[in-house]
Amino acid sequence: MTIPIRAIPGADFLALQEILAGRYSIERELGRGGMGVVLLARDVALDRLVAIKLLPPALATSPDHRERFLREARTAAGLSHPNIVPIHTVEAHGDIVFFVMGFVDGETLRARVERAGPLSPRLAMKFLQDVAWALAYAHQRGVIHRDIKPDNIMIETATDRALVTDFGIAIGGRHDDGTAEIAGTARYMSPEQALGEPVDGRSDLYSLGATFFFALTGRPPYEGASLPAILARQVSDPVPAVQSLRPEVPARFATLIEHCLQRDPADRFASADDVARAADEARGRDFRAPPLVRSFLRNAQVTTMVMLAVGFAGEGIRISDGNMSIGGGPGIIAIILVVQLVAVARRLLREGYAFADIRQALLAEAQVQQEEADVIQQGRWSRRLNTIWHRLWAGRFGRWFFAVAGWRLKTTARRAVPSADATELVLGRSALAAYQALPDATRFNLRAVPAAVDRLETQAEALRERGQTGEPLVQTMAALENIRLALLRLQAGSGSVQDLSLWLERARDIGDRVGRELEAREEVRAALGRG
């Protein structure tokens, strides 16, 4: 069941949903901040999840803020890059100003660090390179972000891909007295931006360095109670050293971060492309398997080699006359390694990994070792010996091993994900949930609601099956949305039975028109079929 954004929805939500009716259907709130509320919604025509960002009413009533927001959002909408969250549409309806963007199933970089602690250096390098690519693309098109920070970097759960959001939204203007208006987040803002001076792409690079200083250490490079205090530290204190807080960070990566954090833009990297190249060099060989999978690979390789050694030495597990004996120290070590391997495999399965994930990582590692063997011109027999463990664990034995290791194992419950049902079904369930929450007497007076909702759902499904995502589907979904909105207003005490009855009458008229159109199309199809 879809849960309304709040038990009693606010006026802003109702007003926005009324504007969006037939095009987008809001499901729930994703988060809120100084720049507005982000809502999860469904694109009716394409039946996909999107996110909607609503400009705060206090800013929307200001013509300057509204126009600047719309201008910059439209500029950002022209950006199309795998590491930038796309903006689909930007609209203003009076004081309701919003844009619709792609939905990223994941969490912000800040949430990731707060949930799981500072990133490993290798993962931080990957994310930084993703963001640098996005910045390079935008800078080449004249768009400066001006608010790169951990909250504006999304990490996609399925792919561990970093995407930049709110591109071009955080831009400052001028106050009435002619002084610069500063926009951005103080702890991640470049010194020149904090002083209200003109900025270019190198300002974003400073923010990038500050953001990944936080990602690696859990704190921004400069702390202070206010913008002037932070700016004073930027001017007087030396650039903080990442390795003083995280000694395990590779020197080349620490130097990259500190290069971005130079006070003078001329002392930073010249471009985001240069940052991306430096990150690539610091990363070296890119091994994409997650840490838990890499742990299994290491254990599997060692276990295989020990088992082979035990077998060649003739010391292992022997069964004679029904009695089992372990042949010396090597046999005991082999047993310990196997038990440890089973434990790691069970944890992998418990975390949701499958044999296919392990096999993919094994094949990737085999490719890397093949490249290394080519470089050192390794002999044929040595190559075969070194690849035994890959072939063993990536083949039938590996599949059997994971099947045995997963015996009677209960997997960890996963967090709920948005419903995969069609938008009309989700919207219908939400409307019926609001209907069921009404008092018995009110439901009796509105007993036509369930049938109206069911009819609109059925018609929307039929239209979608026929590929008709034009005006008939928009009108049908708008009618369904308006019934839901009227029910929510009634539940909140801001609507009336008469208003809902009016929407039910309009829904009936729309249903009749769409029904006649569907019947006519069916007759045409039948006639063509007979012909």
Active site (catalytic) residues: 147
Give the confidence band of 3 by pLDDT, cuts at 50, 70, 90: very low
> Higher pLDDT residue, 98 or 373?
98
Instruction: Tell whether pTM > 0.85.
Output: no
Instruction: Answer yes or no: is pLDDT of 218 > 60.
Output: yes
Q: Which token pair is 350?
A: 């418990």
In SS3 terms, 338-356 reads as HHHHHHHHHHHHHCCCCHH
Q: What is the mean pLDDT of residues 210-220?
A: 93
pLDDT > 80? residue 467: no
Over 60: is that where the pLDDT of 355 sits? yes
d(CA 136, CA 522): 53
Which pLDDT value is given to residue 292? 65
**Would you say 97 and 70 are in contact if contact means Cβ atoms under 8 Å apart?**
yes
Give the model's confidence band at 290: pLDDT under 50 very low, under 70 low, under 90 confident, else very high: low
Predicted local distance difference test score (pLDDT) of residue 445: 82
If pLDDT is split at 50, 70 and 90, which confidence band does 29 have? Answer: confident
Closest by CA position to 19, among listed 79, 99, 83, 111: 99
Give dist(CA 488, CA 432) in Å, integer.
Answer: 10
Domains in the chain, ordered, with CATH?
11-102 (3.30.200.20), 106-283 (1.10.510.10), 291-405 (no CATH), 423-530 (no CATH)
Whether 258 shows a pLDDT value over 90: the answer reads yes
- Residue 384: which pLDDT band, with cuts at 50, 70 and 90? confident
What's the confidence (pLDDT) of residue 11?
A: 66
The pLDDT score that the predictor gives to residue 289 is 57
Q: What is the DSSP string of 453-483?
A: HHHHHHHHHHHHHTT--SHHHHHHHHHHHHH
Positive or negative, the Cα torsion across 238, 239, 245, 247?
negative
**List of E strands, 205-293:** none
Higher pLDDT among residues 528 and 447, named by residue: 447
In this prediction, residue 153 carries a pLDDT of 95
Around 437, how many Cα atoms within 13 Å sit in the side-chain half-sphere? 19
Cβ atoms of 300 and 307 within 8 Å: the answer is no
Instruction: Kindly tell me if the per-residue pLDDT of 27 is higher than 80.
Output: yes
pLDDT score for 529: 63
Each residue's pLDDT tens digit, 107-132: 999 999 988 889 988 889 999 999 99
User: Is pLDDT at 417 greater than 50 in this prediction?
Assistant: no
Q: What does the pLDDT look like over 318-346, one tens digit per residue?
A: 545 555 444 555 667 767 778 888 888 88
